[in-house]
Structure 1
Amino acid sequence: MARAALGWGVRDLATAAKVSPDTIARLERGDSLYARTIEAVRAAFEAAGVIFIDQNGAGPGVRLRDRQPSE
């Protein structure tokens, strides 16, 4: 969901997280990854403005941080 919200492809996320596209594919399939790899992906998303929402009855989710208007 976060990748789609940003309009990123697999390669965009891989570049931002400094991992391989194959690693992103494994993540999206639900394969096990090192904790540091998952942290790198999350950090890349957060740096791009994604906010992760904890489970609140309807399940976890994401949203984009409000953008500041251009001056």
Structure 2
Amino acid sequence: MISVEQVRAARAWLGISQQEVADAAGIEVRTIYRIENGFRGATERTLRRIKTAFEAKGIVFLFDCSRPIGISIRT
């Protein structure tokens, strides 16, 4: 699943607010804030919703053997 670092990087790359991510993912902004500040207890469902929201905006999450290693933008 996506990492805290990937969430931070994706939002920064897109230049969008935590509120925009939360709205797109259908979750509370407090959840994005907590994740970006190192909270690693988010449910898989929440992380999947965040991942889907970013992917809809063109972000591609990169993995190596299921280990999150970065992000890219779909061209």
Q: Please, what TM-score do these two structures have when normalized by structure 2?
A: 0.77
The runs of 5 or more residues in structure 1 that have no matched partner are 67-71
Greater percentage in helix: 2
Greater percentage in strand: 2
- Residue 10 of structure 1 corresponds to 18
Q: Is the 8 A contact 1:27 1:33 kept in 2?
A: yes
Q: Please, what TM-score do these two structures have when normalized by structure 1?
A: 0.81
Residues 19-70 of structure 1 deviation map (CA, whole Å, 9 limit, x = unaligned): 11100011112211111001000010011100011149xx71111111xxxx
- Runs of 4+ displaced beyond 4 Å: none
Q: Report the count of equivalent residues.
A: 64
Q: What's the C-alpha RMSD, in Å, of the aligned pairs?
A: 1.6
The structure that has the greater radius of gyration is 1
Q: Which has the higher contact order (CA 8 A, sep 6+)?
A: 2
